Structure 1
């Protein structure tokens, strides 16, 4: 089960900083690295329940700019 997801600075640039920092997840992402080129750590749950997969799916859709499904 996924526990967390990390997005590096290049991927944050591709997704857009606003998109990467404001997600549909309950927990806010944790900024990593310098503010000029941040990465983000996204907690997805306890890593023991299927809800972690759902959170990862929602996050991936959001970061790609796909409508919520």
Structure 2
């Protein structure tokens, strides 16, 4: 098969905007990267970061197990 002249580009991160369901105002932004998770509350300029290893430890202690 001949090589295509186009290709898919992999994302470096996934960005999500969280919006209040009640009044549709911004709550904050979440950025998920291969090495960390970043959180930026609405109306703030800087992100808060946590490594995936530390997040994994934290969520197991503080999170609730749920069925998908």
When normalised by structure 1's length, the TM-score is 0.23
Q: Which has the larger radius of gyration?
A: 2
Query: Does 1 or 2 have the higher relative contact order (CA < 8 Å, sep 6+)?
Result: 1
Structure with greater helix percent: 1
Structure with greater strand percent: 2
